[in-house]
Structures are given as structure tokens and as C-alpha cells.
Structure 1
């Protein structure tokens, strides 16, 4: 019995086929080979085409099938992981009305701030566990205000994974986890938030039918099955945002367990059984994949928008003649601390952990007679690791104190230097696993379809690759404290500039 997982990323779509019995991956493929474009019509905007995701899904699936080693007709369930917080709008004919406003788009911050004030700080935080901020609901409010002709045609509001499930099945559903991700869910009342819907003036029928996350969200239609070489009637039995799915992939399901990832964005994601929130919404609380009304499981999420994206930018600008492996080796040749070079890695939209400020990337202390690209490559990785430490300290202040962090050996964690620097600056050991978002989605489908009796059964074959522990006598604490002084100064400067502009 086989399981198919689809991971809708910002850069590409990846598909994997997993044998349910052995939990071994039989084939994987992604599309495209180069990173998908992000459209930015104005500063701080970020959009992608949902139809592009669907085309990429079909191409990745065709590539996966072409590798052989399995019979596509043996696939018994499909799971979907997806980039979080994106706004997808369709009309009554399930046609896309506009490009998706994706996770790193900053335009909706004022709308979230206004709703936060209208709902009230205490009620918003205690019921939503977040400020509406720059999440999906606030993005919809921007459309309502700025594109009323689009808003008037909306039949359903979706997240990216809901859209792919709709293309496969013709059905549109949501879950408590998805609603919480969009800041539509009231955790105390355990239902769609009337506060949010009233504050923004949304109609309830814009929200899809709610189902359990691990359940059947529709069956593959005959037309799509023929097109994709699948059996008609296969259930889509799991849909989750990429970070809850990453945690599932690492078997991070119980209170106190923590996962991390460093792809396009960087995330630390911890599980709690308490309805906790950060007073400033710098880290955010969502319903985890295994959250139920009777057994609370909350995901506490720290997000840094520009981790892998900064690393890619540095490679494109300074290392276009080399690959990432050579780039990482070159970074190792520079000394710890990058000979004083410091980088603030915040150039991919408004940063939640910095109270939704648009800070940008900043290089500090460049010495034209000393620093070469090896120093830049190392300072990029050290700056990203310092940003993780800054966010982890916020989480610690809210009661999340991990003794170990699990991560997949992928993206920036493929760099031995980054992995060790992350551990040295946070002081927390990291366990590395061969996890993958599309494989996690496939196993999630097995849980949702009842092929696995429990999540623990789905991940019983997971094996740790290595454990990285802090190096004695490392100097990253001093590097971090210097980095933090520079960040604090930059945040003060940003506030001064904003005040000066407001006074004009």
C-alpha cells in the first residue's frame, strides 16, 4: 500500500511516494529545477499564482511516476503540506480570482493592527492567541478594501494546500489548524471567530466546511485521476501547513518537543498543551496537527522570513561560480566571528518577531582590506543563527525551554558550519533526521486514511542521523551579544525614521 505526499513550497513543489508498510521512500521528485518566481509589484508585496502551484504539482508527480519502482495505481491516500498563511480566492466555479498574497507579503499589517485594536488586546490574545497581524484574515481585509470587485466574486477563501486539494477532488474544506493559521479561529469558543469576522466585516459563508485535519477532505475525481495516472476515489486525507507538517515529520507531537527548519524562512516550532501567547505576538500560536477540543496541542511558532533566501541571495551575488557545497566550505575557511563582520538577516518582508517591522538586511563593519567572500558567506550563516537565538530567547521568555531540537538534514542544516553555529549560539543540542516535508505529508495521509492507527505508528521507523552538541569554549555568545547591540540600534533607528516621516 502506497502513500503520496505533496509539499507546496515557495521555491518549488516536491512529491514523494512512500511504502506504508516499510515507511521507505520509493521515489521523490520536485519541479521546477530553478526557484519559482515571487511577484513583488510594490515594496513589501509578495504574490504567486495558485495555478502555477497546480502546474508544478502535476509536473512533479509526472517526474516521480517516471522514476518507476512503484505502480501509481497502488497509491491509497494523498497528503498535502503547503507554505503557510497564503490567501487564495476562488469564485463559485472554483476559478482563481487573483494571485495568492503569500506568507512574506507585508501589505496587510495596518489591517491586522486596526482589528487588534477593535477587538481589544486582552480578548484578541486570550481567544485568538495572536494579534490578527499580517496573517490570512488581514490579507483578505486588504482585498476587501482595495479590490472590492474581486471581493464581491469570492465564493471561498482558502490556504495554498486547500487549493491543491480542491484541484484534486473538487471539494473545498478547512480545519481548526488551518483556521487558526489564518487567525480565523477562536480557541476558547472552539469555533470560527465571530470577533474576527465582525471586525473585518466578512461573511461566514466565505469560510469552507470544517473537518478534522486527519480525515478525508475529498476524493480524487475521475478526470484528474486519468490525467495524473492515479485511481479515482483516492482520499486526500491530510492537509497541514509546512511548519506543523515539518514537526509531524520529526515526530514532534507532544508538549515540550521542538522542531526547527531553515529553508526559505527559518522556524523554531514547539508543542505545548497550554493556551499560551506572546503579549506582543512576536511568536505565534496555532492549532497543531493533533490538536482536538479535548486534547489541546498547540504549535508555538517563531518565524524568521529571510534565512535560506538570504543565503541564496549571497550565493547569487558573490558565489555564482560555485555550488552551495563549495560555498559552505569557503565559509569554513573564515574564522569564527567572520573577523568582525556582522549581518542582520531581515530582508524578506515584515518580521513578526520584530513586531512586524520592515528592517531589511544590514552589513556591519565591512573592512575592504580584510573581508572577502568567505567572510560574507560565514557572516550570513552566523547572522541567521543569531536571529534564531534572538527568537528562541523570546520563546524561552514565554515558557518554551527546549533541551533538544529536532531538525531535518536539509536546506541550511546541510551545512555542517551552520548546524554547529546554530547549536553553539543557542546552547541547545540538535538531533538531525532524514525527514522531508513531502514524506511527512505522505505519512500524514496514512494517519488520516486510517492506514496507521496512531501517529507514533507512522514514525516508528524514523532513525536519528547525528546529534550536534555545543562546542566547549566557542565564541558565539560574544558574537551574538555584539549582533544584538547592532539589531537594537537598527530597530531604534527605524523607529526614529518612522516618527520623522509621520511628523512631516
Structure 2
């Protein structure tokens, strides 16, 4: 009987599960829209219903296990949207909706006219954040917890906090939530250099140390599937549950080739550009993040990340805007029809002419949340949907290249190849072409679909003993096109 390892990704819009076999057969995968986003909230709020997230995760596991009944499940790895905030009471029940990385309530002015984020940054010397690898920003757990207190929205019976992937792993195993370094650092409160929660940052953000989860190695076994969850998923009770990792790190594990001459551009809802670092370094405007070890007998590395950049949300903007304009004239057009129209008219030549240029930061950036999109080169006749879309695609590529150039001596050089991952890359070949022309090197789209779930499965498989290291696992992860 073949063995498999399952990777589970709790994403911003969907939940994905993938099963990787140890006998070389193609992986099986399932993706479900979780529809957990809460509507009707004030502008700038981004929340999700935790019960819908958990139910979708259970459904995905049930479906993937049903597709692999003849295999032994060696372990379940988990990943998910970083920076998310889950508030729990003493019984580990959620106290309110999950607050996601897209939340901007920390930018709302308080009674004194100052936003919680500005107040927090004024209280925190910049050098205090150096060891975290990032700057406190909207949507980060540390920022969100401070904002909840300043806006009088923090539940009185809070007992602990968790990241959404860690919380799902906790629900599967019946254990109190723990976390790993990749998630912990995404809070803005964890010192990667000293490998611990930063006490002065906790004080500044008014975060109680006993709220925070223990930090354990990425991908290590943290518990076993409970009988209740076994009944719900069809997976054997006692199946090892592995410590969750951030979705950014999971995508890097599955999609960034070995070596120092490559980088990864991930286009999901947002966009990131990533490359490895052998040791901890800080570069202005980029995050330094933890990268889990490639094998059980190695130490973890680090990676430089240009995060919070424009990505799939910018591509989706043109579709949504076209449909909104038409709707105001009483013409209802489907999302699929708009994509069909654009794909028919978008050509490589349209990208090369660059008749319209665009800075597609419609929702701001992590460094500058108030930044907005800009179109230039608009004439009397060229502001067409296809030209706008072409400008956006080129603008996304340019935003990635600008981050690469700004890193100067700490970037891959010579750069020989770029791997692109995420549905935004897979569904937009002209974006891949734009990136290749911007950087002047070949670009390949990752052969792994559902890259984050795949990375979580690979790491879990290494810790379960299916493979000696990540490189050995990668050869089992290619999904054949339908």
C-alpha cells in the first residue's frame, strides 16, 4: 500500500488539500471556496467566519481522503494565510471572527485623531523591530491586537491568540494551539535573531505574553487527529498533525529551485518576490523571514521578501470595474465573459506597445497603505479595457523588478531563472511574459499546483520520514495538467 502525505492550505478565498504519493503517481488535489468572508463590515475591515473556514477544511480533507482510500496517510501538514488573528477563550473557542491580513482597522483614527498604527509606531523605536525582520503594518497580529484595544473591540474574556492555520491544526489535533517561527514573525512581535517573543514590543503593543502560543519547529509533529475529526474526515484517528507554516514559506518550499541564482514571484491575491538568504540580514522596504529547514538535521535559513505588492487583486480589478461600469448602464456581464473578451484582445504586442502605463497599487502597499493606483499615457482613444489590462500586467512586473533592483548587492546575481507561482501567474501567461521581459531572464511557472498546500505536504513528509529532504520530495509533487 502506498503512503501519502496531505497538505492543507487555509487561503484567503479558498481551502485546498493535496495528497502526495511516495510511489511516484501524480498527486490528488481538492480546492473549495470557503465563502467565509464576512460582508457588510465598515470599509477597511476584513474578517472571516471561523466556522466556515473549519468546515471547509474538514470537507477538503474528507474529499481528498476519499480520493486516496487505497493509501496510508502518513501525516497532515498545514499552512495558511499569514498575519491572521484568531481570539480564543479558555475553552479554546473563538471569541469573534478571524481578522485577516487584509484588515486595515489599525489605520482608523481614534478619538485623539491618531490611528492605532501611528500611535504604536511612535512608541516603538525602529531598531526594536530590526530583529523581527519586518515593520509593524496593518493586518499584522501585533498591530491588530493593539488596534482592537484602542478601538474598544477586544473581548474581555480573551485567553489566547492564534494564527488561522495554527488554530485549524489545533482543532484537528485537540491540542492547544502552537506556532512556528514563520507565523510568529508575521505578527511583528517575534525576534528572529534572538528566537523569541520580543518583550519590549509586547509591552508597547499591550499584548500579554501568556496570550501567545509556544513556538516549535516548522512541520514537526504536534499531535494526532482526534476521533471526532477522524469521523468527519474519513482519515484514521491518530494520524500525525504537523506544525503549520506560513503560506509564503510553503510556496517557497514547493516552488523555488535550489541554488543562489533563482528567485520566486508568487501571484496570489497579493504578490511577493522572494529569494533565499544564508543568514539574517535587513534591507529597507523588504521583510526578512524565516525559511524552514530542508531536512530534519539542518538549521532553518532566511529569505528576503518583497511583500504586500500588487498581484491577483490588481488583475481582478479590471474585470470587476468593467462589470461595474456596464451594470450602471443596465448591462449585466459575467466574470467569465469579461475574461474571454480580454484574452481575445490581449496579445504580446499589446504589452510591448505599453500605450498605457500603470502603477496598480489600488489598495496601497504594506509600506504605504495610503498609496493608490496611477495610469499614465492616457490619450483620446487608447483607454480601452485591453490596454488598461495590459498596463496593469506590465505594472505588476515592474513593481517586482523595482524591489529586486533596490536590493543591490544582496540580490541573486547573476540571476539566471525566475519561478512564478500562484493562480495569478498560472492563469495569466501574458503576465509571465511581462516578468520575463522586465528581468531579462527565462521564467517558468511552477509545476506544482496549489503551491502552499504542496509545500506544507512536502515538509510534513520530510518530518514523517517519507523523504530525507525537500529536494527529494519535490520530484513527487508535479500535478499533470488535465
User: TM class, shorter-chain normalised?
Assistant: 0.7 to 0.9
- In structure 2, the CA distance between the partners of 1:326 and 1:452, relative to structure 1 (3 Å rule), is farther
- Residue 444 of structure 2: aligned partner: 431
Separation (CA, whole Å) in 2 of partners of 1:3 and 1:293 = 20
Distance 1:140 1:4 in 2: 32
Q: Which runs of 5+ in 1 are unaligned?
A: 466-504
Question: 1-side partners of 2:319 and 2:257: how far apart?
Answer: 32
Q: Which residue does the alignment assign to 2:59?
A: 59
- Distance of 2:479 and 2:190 partners within structure 1: 35
Q: Deviations over 1:130-159 (max 9, x none)?
A: 222332211111122223551x32222111
How far apart are 1:384 and its partner, in Å? 1.6
Partners of 2:252 and 2:12 lie apart in 1 by 18
| 3-state secondary structure, aligned to 1:81 | strand
What SS does the corresponding residue of 2:274 show, helix, strand or coil?
Answer: strand
How does the TM-score come out when normalised to structure 2? Answer: 0.85
Determine the structure 2 residue equivalent to 1:30.
31
Are 2:366 and 1:362 aligned?
no
* 8 A contact 1:341–1:363 mirrored in 2: yes
Distance 1:304 1:175, change over 3 A: closer
Hey, what does 2:234 align to over in structure 1? Answer: 229
Q: Distance in 1 between matches of 2:44 and 2:96?
A: 18
CA positional deviation for 1:361: 2.9
What is the match of residue 377 of structure 1? 389
- 1:224 shift after superposition: 0.8
Question: Is the 1:78–1:235 Cα contact (8 Å) retained in structure 2?
Answer: yes
- CA–CA distance in structure 2, aligned partners of residues 333 and 122 of structure 1: 46
Tell me the alpha carbon deviations over residues 142-193 of structure 1, each in whole angstroms, 9 at most, x when there is no partner. Answer: 122223551x322221111111111211221111222112122213322221
Q: Distance between the aligned counterparts of 2:387 and 2:72, measured in 1?
A: 51
Of 410, 416, 420, the match for 1:403: 416
SS at match of 2:185: helix
Query: Counterpart of 1:45?
Result: 45
**Matching residue of 2:22:** 20
Q: Distance in 1 between matches of 2:159 and 2:215?
A: 15
Does the 8 Å CA contact 1:107/1:139 hold for their aligned counterparts? Answer: yes
> 1:168–1:323: structure 2 CA closer, same or farther, 3 Å change rule?
farther
Pair 1:198-2:200 in alignment:
no
Aligned partner of 1:322 in structure 2 is: 337
**CA distance 1:457–1:48, shift in 2 (3 Å):** same
For residue 76 of structure 1, the aligned residue among 33, 53, 74 is 74
1:424 aligns to what SS in structure 2? helix
Q: Deviations over 1:191-234 (max 9, x none)?
A: 22112112222221111122111211221100111111111111
Indicate whether 1:298 and 2:313 are aligned.
no
The answer as to whether partners of 1:347 and 1:358 remain within 8 angstroms in 2 is: no
Counterpart in 2 of 1:482? none
Residue 462 of structure 2 is aligned to residue 447 of structure 1: yes
Residue of structure 1 equivalent to 2:250: 245
Moved more, 128-137 or 110-119: 110-119
Q: Is the 8 A contact 2:268 2:422 kept in 1?
A: no
Deviation at 1:328, TM superposition (A): 3.0
**Residues 338 and 378, structure 1, Cα contact 8 Å, conserved in 2:** no
Aligned equivalent of 1:331, options 346, 353, 369? 346
Shift of the 456–409 alpha-carbon distance from structure 1 to 2, 3 Å rule, reads: same
Q: Any idea what SS the aligned residue of 2:250 has?
A: helix
Identify the match of residue 351 of structure 1 among 357, 365, 369.
365
Pick which of 51-60 and 405-414 moved more. 405-414
- SS of the residue corresponding to residue 13 of structure 1 reads strand
Aligned equivalents of 2:298 and 2:236: distance in 1? 36
Q: Deviations over 1:246-269 (max 9, x none)?
A: 000125566664222111111111
How far is the alpha carbon of 1:112 from its aligned partner?
A: 4.6
| Residues 1:23 and 1:79: Cα distance change in structure 2 (over 3 Å) | farther
Q: Is the alpha carbon distance of 1:140 and 1:257 closer, same or farther for their aligned partners in structure 2, counting shifts above 3 Å?
A: farther
In structure 2, the CA distance between the partners of 1:211 and 1:252, relative to structure 1 (3 Å rule), is farther
Report if aligned partners of 1:85, 1:159 keep a CA contact under 8 Å in 2: yes
Q: Quick check: 1:88–1:163 contact (8 Å CA) kept in 2?
A: yes
Contact 1:186 1:192 in 2 (8 A): yes
Distance 1:157 1:256 in 2: 39
- Structure 1 distance, partners of 2:374, 2:382, is 18
Matched, 1:129 2:129: no
Aligned to 1:284, which of 263, 287, 299? 287
Moved more, 314-323 or 429-438: 314-323
Q: Deviations over 1:340-359 (max 9, x none)?
A: 222221123x412xx23322
In the alignment of these two chains, the number of paired residues is 454
The residue aligned with 1:342 is: 357
Tell which deviates more after alignment, 220-229 or 137-146: 137-146
Aligned to 2:168: 164
- Residues of 2 paired with 1:422 and 1:202: CA distance? 41
Q: Is the 2:264–2:419 Cα contact (8 Å) retained in structure 1?
A: yes
In structure 2, relative to structure 1, the CA distance for the partners of 1:100 and 1:259 (3 Å cut) is same
Q: Taking structure 1 as the reference length, what is the TM-score of the superposition?
A: 0.82
Which stretch has the larger CA shift, 111-120 or 221-230? 111-120
What's the C-alpha RMSD, in Å, of the aligned pairs?
Answer: 2.9
- The 2-side partners of 1:409 and 1:169 are apart by 29
Alignment check: 8 A CA contact 1:112 1:131 kept: no
Q: 1:37 deviation in Å?
A: 3.6
Counterpart-to-counterpart distance in 2, 1:9 and 1:318? 26
User: For residues 17 and 293 of structure 1, do their structure 2 counterparts lie closer, same or farther at Cα, with a shift above 3 Å needed?
Assistant: closer
Matched-pair contact (CA < 8 Å) for 2:123–2:204: yes
Describe the shift of the 1:131–1:408 C-alpha distance in structure 2 as closer, same or farther (beyond 3 A). closer
